[in-house]
Structure 1
């Protein structure tokens, strides 16, 4: 079975080569649609296509991802399609899994069964690597066996159909998908009794995505603005639960919680079965101090999805905010039983125990947290405060040095470093750290402590 890699690119010269090399030996041809590059993207693409086969196609960008994706599919001659972006790679060790999956699906389709169904595509989990702890569902890279993971503290997973038969086309101007094309098959008599899981299977192969850790700030801002604009257009032209969910999450990034809440509530109106929106609803209600509404949404989440880990995380954070720490501890403890690598949950547990005065348990949870994610700066910061409270100044010094290594703009960390050095009799370091704390800006109480004899 022939496999075609289909891509859309623009000014991806810095990363495209790595992406293409990651699929050498896996794909039989490469179709690259260029939407207006002005760097070496086209040159890199042409060189690889010359070696592997395929084509590089020019396409004018029209603010529509599906249009560009479908242009690439139009030129593909493979039986199956693999879709990647330039800032993504497939691990060499997963090539065999992909080949075996399409071979098995193709063999299965040749055999008749009672539904007449055949597998149309596969969900692959996109691992969105992040530079720091972020979001409800951040997974630590500690102990992960992929070499592609080693330089980053962790990721957030998102299942997306990346591998599918070359008969389907994309829909949606942003967050485009071939799902509608695949689901349309269920209107045919031979697919009438077919379930979604018969048509689309989950393949245990991650797509390693580095866009959030490699792009510069200007590129990230431009991309976010473009996505927001297209998200508004998508809601106007094809309103759906998914469209409102996506736009709500963009409002969350802007900390526009009232608008985000409206989007999430509208998503439920469009599809009452869209229970995946409950964690976002709970989180927004917490930010808007609508605690009774958060309680109701959490109750609904647990009714529809008893193991909704993101709802547990969101509700736990809301209970920290409202200072009902016993409830928060209950949420995070349940979550960690099911997902023991959720580092944010360990940190949130530590905060809850700290606020209740249980410093020993707080210390235990922080230790687990920083073991899983050595880059979690807030966890190191709280750990240092616990060590200072226990007069373990040497250890506190080491931890605080880690804090400023991770984030050099924390006045409270420099304040604590200055006081620790003073306790340890390191006068020169005390004066250096005091100067930095004052430069960054500390409150009057801290300032007085720094000049106290």
Structure 2
């Protein structure tokens, strides 16, 4: 006689089944367990995969009743115990289960509950909700399931809670067709049941959860509100539903609603750890930081003692926020608060719990700078292997530098100037004029201005010759030039005058494609910023149009301009081409056609309307004078 009968119910599970069955192999190979699979009508390779693991495969077509199908699978079981597992699950502690099955103490129990981890993301097993679920049952002939939709095991006590886990991948399905099928099947069954019994609170809850799983949180919230309105004196019996309601309200940014429900739950269960996490997150988001931190502290105190809490043994209650990521989130908020309030020692308590590498980097930077431990700051940076993380380190430092005195800022620059990369060069430039031009050239050569943080744009403020800035701009594309221009005029006021003089006085050859490109890139941002004084800066707009026409002449076949402009997605190039066409018709004396194309040009950019209207008036006033 087998110690265990593993009973499964499957349909079209070829993407999941092998992962599940591989996790069960030690049980099968040691002849501790038999594997029973009921197929309810698979059309893929599910049965072929199953045959590699067992010959006990039975076909029973789906009859819209989950419990009935479960009970059919149980009817084939010959083992002393029955394990229920699904294809989208994986048994994690097979060796521990084997030890448990041969333990003499097991004779005192009739049901064994396992920890089910519901993953949120396929590539991150640190983020999950947790539920203690009865999964192993004594096969004494009385065990069965009830409930057409969400089947419930009718099992005997006493119940043993085992430290054995099952990982559930069903919430992270990437097959959208399969997800939709499962949603439509489950939701339609639930809606059908609710039409017969609209006050069935459990089915209302399950419908809300089904909407959650399909990403319809708005519909889920409607069902949770409906359920909440029907709960009067029996809230205590539906704490699992209220917890899901609070989580959904939080996800939908209905923060005060979530607070009300979460506090309702805590009234009945002081150890419902999830509610403290939610209340912490919500209060931080709405600006009640002190309250948020109080809840986070209570949350972390509870979680350090989680295995001894009553909630850890409660098979009705799902814990959504006991995973490493949630602990990390709470620790990060607490560490950030303490470091920003100068309580460095308090901050240290939470550093080891932060798993997000960017958040940890941010806190470590703040911590080391608060301690003025600049030598360790440099060592920390040099030990980072990930270039994206190094960039984030630099970003974190630069944020702190915005609110620090000049002496401390200089010390940070000085120490980080020893770093052997573009960030080290930038800090070297900040503290020394030695080999300045060479350093500037090296920074501009190494930095990817398309993807870098904006503080690297500071390199341009150290360039004494404005023509050299234009020289560097010629090597960039229009979008990058505009980003750098906006940064420089906003962060370094002296650049406003320099760029204005350049736009008014620069001489650029008609066929200088790079020169015209730089001019139109800067001119556009300049005239948009001065739209209220458009008459004063109309001359710059005229040059913008003229040099834009010169630019498109170099990159397009303008002899086909009337066909070309209709197929352009770049509205700025379209504006220049339409202006080019209109000018040609003016030269030919075809003023009606010129007006037609100018009107087309007006549609290209509504931000330039004032300039364009003045431009048309100016042109036709000049024509009328002639």
Classify the TM-score, shorter chain. Answer: 0.5 to 0.7
Structure 2 residue aligned with 1:419:
454
Structure 2: distance between partners of 1:284 and 1:447: 44
Deviations 1:387-421 (Å, cap 9, x if unpaired)? 440259999x99xxxxxxxxxxxxxxx99834254
Structure 2 residue aligned with 1:28:
33
Query: Which is further off, 5-14 or 230-239?
Result: 230-239
Cα displacement (A) at 1:311: 1.1
Work out whether residues 11 and 38 of structure 1, in 8 Å CA contact, stay in contact via their aligned partners in 2.
yes
Aligned with 1:417: secondary structure?
coil
**Is residue 2:147 matched to residue 1:176?**
no
Structure 2: distance between partners of 1:422 and 1:367: 35
Structure 2 residue aligned with 1:218:
177
Aligned with 1:153: secondary structure?
strand
Structure 2 residue aligned with 1:137:
none
**Is residue 2:113 matched to residue 1:123?**
yes
Which residue, out of 10, 27, 48, partners 1:43? 48
Equivalent runs, 1:327-338 vs 2, <5 Å: 327-338=291-302
Change (3 A) 1:230 1:33: same
Unaligned runs of 5+ in 2: 305-322, 363-388, 402-411, 424-448, 461-471, 492-520, 527-626
Structure 2 residue aligned with 1:372:
355
Query: Which is further off, 330-339 or 295-304?
Result: 295-304
Change (3 A) 1:355 1:208: closer
Structure 2: distance between partners of 1:154 and 1:432: 41
**Cα RMSD (Å) of the superposition?**
4.6
Aligned with 1:8: secondary structure?
strand
Which residue, out of 325, 328, 331, partners 1:343? 325
Structure 1 residue aligned with 2:569:
none
**Is residue 2:159 matched to residue 1:205?**
no
Structure 1 residue aligned with 2:191:
232
Cα displacement (A) at 1:123: 1.0
Structure 1 residue aligned with 2:98:
96
Structure 1 residue aligned with 2:207:
247
Structure 1 residue aligned with 2:437:
none
Cα displacement (A) at 1:5: 0.8
Deviations 1:120-141 (Å, cap 9, x if unpaired)? 2111111223328xxxxxxxxx
* Greater relative contact order (Cα < 8 A, sep 6+): 1
Structure 2: distance between partners of 1:367 and 1:220: 39
Structure 2 residue aligned with 1:86:
87
Equivalent runs, 1:354-433 vs 2, <5 Å: 358=340, 368=351, 371-374=354-357, 386-391=396-401, 417-423=452-458
Cα displacement (A) at 1:330: 0.9
Work out whether residues 246 and 261 of structure 2, in 8 Å CA contact, stay in contact via their aligned partners in 1.
yes
Q: How many residues align?
A: 379
Cα displacement (A) at 1:206: 0.4
Work out whether residues 34 and 56 of structure 1, in 8 Å CA contact, stay in contact via their aligned partners in 2.
yes
Larger Rg: 2
Query: Which is further off, 322-331 or 238-247?
Result: 238-247
Cα displacement (A) at 1:336: 1.4
Cα displacement (A) at 1:164: 0.5
Deviations 1:218-275 (Å, cap 9, x if unpaired)? 3334333333333333444566444333323334441216404324415744843223
Aligned with 2:217: secondary structure?
coil
Work out whether residues 116 and 131 of structure 2, in 8 Å CA contact, stay in contact via their aligned partners in 1.
yes
Work out whether residues 354 and 360 of structure 2, in 8 Å CA contact, stay in contact via their aligned partners in 1.
no
Aligned with 1:226: secondary structure?
helix
Aligned with 2:152: secondary structure?
coil
Structure 2: distance between partners of 1:230 and 1:369: 47
Work out whether residues 111 and 137 of structure 2, in 8 Å CA contact, stay in contact via their aligned partners in 1.
yes
Structure 2: distance between partners of 1:357 and 1:297: 32
Cα displacement (A) at 1:34: 0.8
**Is residue 2:280 matched to residue 1:308?**
no
Cα displacement (A) at 1:64: 2.6
Change (3 A) 1:433 1:361: farther
Work out whether residues 6 and 32 of structure 1, in 8 Å CA contact, stay in contact via their aligned partners in 2.
yes
Structure 1: distance between partners of 2:100 and 2:300: 32
Which residue, out of 257, 270, 286, partners 1:322? 286
Structure 1: distance between partners of 2:359 and 2:121: 10
Structure 2 residue aligned with 1:152:
125
Work out whether residues 35 and 60 of structure 1, in 8 Å CA contact, stay in contact via their aligned partners in 2.
yes
Structure 2: distance between partners of 1:71 and 1:447: 75
**Is residue 2:22 matched to residue 1:59?**
no
Query: Which is further off, 351-360 or 90-99?
Result: 351-360
Structure 1: distance between partners of 2:358 and 2:192: 38
Work out whether residues 415 and 433 of structure 1, in 8 Å CA contact, stay in contact via their aligned partners in 2.
no
Give me the TM-score of the superposition, normalised by structure 2. 0.51
Structure 1: distance between partners of 2:459 and 2:95: 51
Cα displacement (A) at 1:21: 3.0
